Amino acid sequence: MVSHTLLVMSISLFLCLNILLVVHAKDFNQDIDITWGDGRGNILNNGTLLNLGLDQSSGSGFQSKAEYLYGKVDMQIKLVPGNSAGTVTTFYLKSQGLTWDEIDFEFLGNVSGDPYIVHTNVYTQGKGDREQQFYLWFDPTAEFHNYSILWNPSHIVFYIDGKPIREFKNLEALGVAYPKNQPMRMYGSLWNANDWATRGGLVKTNWSQGPFVASFMNYNSENACVWSIVNGTTTTSPCNPGGSSSSSTSASEWFSQRGMDSSNKKVLRWVQRKFMVYNYCKDKKRFSKGLPVECTAKNKNTKS
């Protein structure tokens, strides 16, 4: 009798846990449009999984249905396994037009056994050239990891599994442009960049290893300010970039954040000391006439 009761309780607990997982799983069909790839991008498992494919003919990509003016967005990604040389998987925010703003995560494929490189960049008014690159300290192909972008009026922070890897501060007072007026969509893609992605293009894509697949789960934009025009008036929900944030505690926390606390700064220094492989702010050969202003400003956001 006791064994039967325990069995029933175990089954009930298992069912409850699975119901909770289903309830909390994000549905890509509600938030995402696959925009290119001619069938190489697919939403699967009742909307909880999105796979992007790449073969010799084409890659694939998607974008968010909504545009955001400030936000914190998260995506769980499992990168292309094996010999992924020449491939690039992306997760980024971007506005439209010739003077666009953009905040980039790009994952540069590798030869089997070599570490993936995460390439980050920030564009303002169509100008980028702010690359920082890092080795990942784990195998990003074995399971899903969480990648996040926090963008508020004070700074932009790139996170991996909750660890900050890069901060780009609002230094408009010093003449450095900062993205603040143009709404951005979230984009993801998998494409062929064998002319530069792996060892500067020395290692080419091995198409016999394809088709290549990158997988995405649990896109979270609940803390992003959805931009829209209602009766000719621009609105953002759930926050107001022109003034205070919404009554939501989580929205208030990320929106009002002016900088990182001491514990996050410590993690940032650790990541940049151990895993940074390129920093534009240290490239005096490239910027022979002087480093960009944000690289030399006090409290700079460069490698320590």
87-94/49-54 β-pairing: unpaired
For 56-144, where are the E strands, in sequence order?
60-64, 67-78, 87-94, 102-108, 117-123, 132-135
CB atoms within 10 A of CB 304: 10
Asked if residues 292 and 122 have their Cβ atoms less than 8 Å apart, the reply is: no
CB atoms within 10 A of CB 5: 9
Question: How would you class 248 by CB atoms within 10 Å of its CB: exposed for 0-12, middle for 13-18, buried for 19 or more?
Answer: middle
Alpha carbons 132 and 123: distance in angstroms, whole number: 13
278 Cβ partners below 8 Å, 6+ apart?
Answer: 131, 132, 133
Determine whether 106 is an active site residue: yes
Q: Determine which one of 106, 131, 143, 167 is catalytic.
A: 106
Q: Determine which one of 102, 143, 172, 222 is catalytic.
A: 102
H/E element, 262: helix 262-275
Determine whether 294 is an active site residue: no
Catalytic center residues: 102, 106
